[in-house]
Amino acid sequence: KQKLTVLYGSQTGQAEEIATQIHEDAVFNGYDVDLHCLKDAGKKFDISQITCAVFVCSTTGDGDPPENARKFLRTLSRKTLSKDHLSHLKYALLGLGDSNYSTFCGGPKKLERVLINLGAKQIHHSGFADDGTDMELVVEPWLEELWPALKKYFSNQDCEILNDKPEENSTKDENSDFAKLDKNVDCGQNKSVENLSKEIKNIEIMVTYKSKNDINTTTLQKSILLQESSLSLVELTLPPLFPLYLETFASNEVRPAIQHYQNDCPFPIASGSRTSGLIRKASVLTREDAVKRTIEICMEVENREQYMPGDAIAVCCKNPAQEVEWLINRLDLNEKADESLQLKVSVEAKKKSSCKPTLEVLLQHLPRLQPRRYSVANYGSEFISFVFNVVHFPNEPSHLPDRKGICTGYLESLVEPMIKQKQVDPISISIFPTKSNDFALPGNLKTPIVMIGPGTGVSPFIGFLQQRREQIHSRTACNIGPAWLFFGCRHKERDFLFQSELESFIDGVLTKLCVAFSRDKVTENEPKYVQDSLTLHKNDIVKLLLEDKAVFFVCGDARNMAKDVRNCLINLIAIETNCDEDAAREKFSVVLAEKRYKEDIWT
């Protein structure tokens, strides 16, 4: 068999999932294939001994490689390695990123630079998928084109980057079965669906196997119908129908009394084992007429001291019962709904309709239910707290009438009786600590800090300020750096989160509290957004950023706010230092290189 190695670097598990899919498809296609995480370099695989590899790598933070890929990159970045260290390696690379963040696909692109600098050669063009738009727009075509590229490489043909267009078969034998088919039907690449649908009526297709005499003939009925729509005029490439590899069967085993969450399989983002948290208190931080409902949960956990401001926990959630019931009814699975089922691998299972898939098809394509990450919002208490907005989805007539975010809806339903004071007993949920992203207060109190967190993005800064207050009270020195906080929300009276607590910090803990309310009526000089507040104090902000070496923290929405804040700061640098935008970006890049601009943002 032809030897192939699939290697991945994954922060949340998405890259690992795609790599696992590639591994399974490679097995199905007859390759001798291994699957490894990049962190296992030197233990389970030796990159210097691999001749053909497929890399799948994600991005974390501001363009950083995932934690389990960093050691691999450091090892290959050593200056002692020769430029032909990996000249024997042929590779394909799929990168995952999010254009809502400042540096798109920084991790995979760094990996590719390292590979190229050491002499590795591409056998398939690199793909960079964008979670900010639709990752499948890149992932699916890239995977579809991967197998012809590998076949070409293993056939000892030229290992050049393939064009985006499909290869044309220019070496057909006129006497072959496929040539006969070509004479009967013009299957040119430029044929539109409309023209093709007129020609496809009854086509006799001959499938040639290993032996020329072993030929099966079948009749393909007309399957593309002419539609009166613009879609019928567009040239389309139909995605491949992947083979079904799972089957379910009834299990005679007695269901255990204690159910383990996802069989206790570890999550890539976890920094510790899964444990239980007891919710002791829940409260709504917004008024009833606020656009978003914001809930704060206080929870008792083991080893409270390990959770510091800036850290985060992951909540293991469950699918809403209402949606599960809807799906069971939709797929006619009521008879099996309460049965214990087991899975087995099968490549012989029949292909089913995509409109009403079988349970096996559904299980094969459903991604793993991922935990949701929330910032720790306090310090110095016996409990930890976190804050979230309840996510609502617009009503769709073809689906359930009211849908909420999986985890926020799950948590809201759990604590609703507690909020209404109809329940006082603690509620147990599954949580685990997550890996640090270096989002923490500087060790020296003299270092100035600027915190920017509209909406629930303010939550980690509550813990920052509580910790800072304790540090100040435990010191006798008076030389303490300034601390600024920029907060924004829609309405002051409806959703000003932690208002009284934030205002209480203006006693020497917080130097300046700047607030903006985007939906309230404001005068011309009053800010609507945090960017406006930054602009009002542009002289101080640029001085803090460039001269005073302050550490800037940004927490909240990555899709709009984080980008707008970064662009605002670059613009303020240009104004205050009297330079053009390119020069301002160069100065801002120095701040990034010095690790003084830290983001904890999400889409």
Higher-confidence residue of 164 and 248: namely: 248
Confidence of residue 229 (pLDDT cuts 50, 70, 90): very low
Residue 390 has a pLDDT of: 93
User: Above pLDDT 90, what percent of the chain?
Assistant: 49
Whether residues 502 and 548 share a domain: the answer is yes
What was the pLDDT predicted at 266?
Answer: 77
Segment 163-219, tens digit of pLDDT: 333 343 333 344 433 333 333 333 333 434 444 444 444 444 444 344 434 444 444
- Using a 10 angstrom Cβ sphere, with 0-12 exposed, 13-18 middle and 19 or more buried, the burial of residue 265 is exposed
Clarify whether residues 519 and 399 are in a common domain.
Answer: no
Q: Identify whether residues 355 and 501 lie together within a single domain.
A: no
Q: Per the domain annotation, does 407 fall within a domain?
A: yes
428 and 281 in one domain?
yes
| pLDDT tens string 266-302 | 777 788 888 899 999 999 999 999 889 999 999 999 8
The pLDDT score that the predictor gives to residue 1 is 65
Chain centre to alpha carbon of residue 117:
28
Residue 214 counted as domain residue: no
Average pLDDT over residues 7-22: 90
- Is 87 inside a domain boundary? yes
pLDDT at 348: 59
**Looking at the structure, do residues 428 and 481 belong to the same domain, yes or no?**
no
More confident residue, 324 or 524: 324
pLDDT of residue 81: 93
Going by pLDDT thresholds of 50, 70 and 90, the confidence category of residue 365 is confident
DSSP 83-97: TTTTTT-EEEEEEEE
DSSP string, 42-109: TTTB-GGG-SEEEEEE--BTTTBPPHHHHHHHHHHT-TTS-TTTTTT-EEEEEEEE-TTSSSTTHHHH
Q: What per-residue confidence (pLDDT) applies to 402?
A: 75
What tokens appear for 191 in the block?
A: 């044929």
Please tell me what DSSP assigns to residue 245.
Answer: -
Mean pLDDT of the 62-69 span: 86
Same-domain status, 470 and 513: yes
Do 32 and 91 lie in one domain? The reply is yes
Which are the contacts of 72, defined by CB distance < 8 A and separation ≥ 6? 9, 38, 39, 41, 47
pLDDT at residue 485 is higher than 90: yes
pLDDT of residue 183: 35
Sign for the pseudo-dihedral over CA of 577, 583, 587, 592: positive
- What six digits make up the tokens of 297? 């949960």
Q: Are residues 266 and 407 in the same domain?
A: yes
Q: Is the pLDDT of residue 527 over 90?
A: yes
| Nearest Cα residue to 497 out of 546, 458, 445 | 458
Average pLDDT, integer, range 511-538: 92
Q: Could you read off the pLDDT of 76-112 as tens digits, one per residue?
A: 999 999 999 999 999 999 999 988 777 889 999 999 9
Q: Is 532 helix (H, G, I), strand (E, B) or coil?
A: helix
> What integer best gives the mean pLDDT of the chain?
82
Model confidence band, residue 350 (pLDDT cutoffs 50, 70, 90): very low
pLDDT classification of 450: cutoffs 50, 70, 90: very high
Domain count for the chain? 3
Give the residue numbers spanning the domain of 122.
Answer: 3-160
- 8 and 89 in a single domain? The answer is yes
Which of 145, 160, 175 represents a domain boundary (last residue)? 160
Lowest mean pLDDT among 11-15, 53-57, 141-145: 11-15
- Residue 111 class from Cβ within 10 Å (0-12 exposed, 13-18 middle, 19+ buried)? buried
Q: In what order do the strands lie in the sheet with 275-284?
A: 372-375, 312-316, 427-433, 275-284, 294-300, 384-389
For residues 444-471, give the mean pLDDT: 95
Q: Is residue 418 very low, low, confident or very high in pLDDT (cuts 50, 70, 90)?
A: very high
468 and 582 share one domain: yes
Among the ranges given (220-224, 257-261, 517-521), the one the predictor scored with the smallest mean pLDDT: 220-224
Q: Could you tell me the CATH number of the domain that includes residue 89?
A: 3.40.50.360
Domain boundary among 434, 469, 490: 434
Mean pLDDT for 368-380 is 90
Query: What's the mean pLDDT in 51-69?
Result: 90
Map 359-426 to HEC letters: HHHHHHHCCCCCCEEEECCCCCCCCEEEEEECCEECCCCCCCCCEECHHHHHHHHHHHHHHCCCCCCC
The verdict on 353 and 429 lying in the same domain is yes
**CATH number of the domain that 271 lies in?**
2.40.30.10
Of the listed ranges 110-124, 189-203, 346-360, the least confidently predicted one is 189-203
Query: Is position 240 within any domain?
Result: no
Other residues' Cβ atoms within 10 Å of the Cβ of residue 98: 21
**Residue 314 located in a structural domain:** yes
- Asked if residue 109 belongs to a domain, the reply is yes
Q: Is the pLDDT of residue 542 over 90?
A: yes
Q: How far apart are CA 170 and CA 154, in angstroms?
A: 20
Please state, in angstroms and rounded to a whole number, the distance separating the CA atoms of residues 71 and 56: 16
| 238 assigned to some structural domain | no
Rounded-to-integer distance, Cα 338 and Cα 342, Å: 13
Last residue of a domain, one of 434, 469, 501: 434
Question: In 3D, which of 331, 340, 385, 381 has the Cα closest to residue 359?
Answer: 331
Q: What is the pLDDT of residues 547-600, one digit of tens each?
A: 999 999 999 988 789 889 999 999 999 999 999 999 999 999 899 889 899 998
Indicate if 151 and 15 belong to the same structural domain.
yes
Do the domain assignments include residue 196? no
Lowest-confidence region among 478-482, 501-505, 561-565, 584-588? 478-482
For residue 133, name the pLDDT band (cuts at 50, 70, 90).
Answer: confident
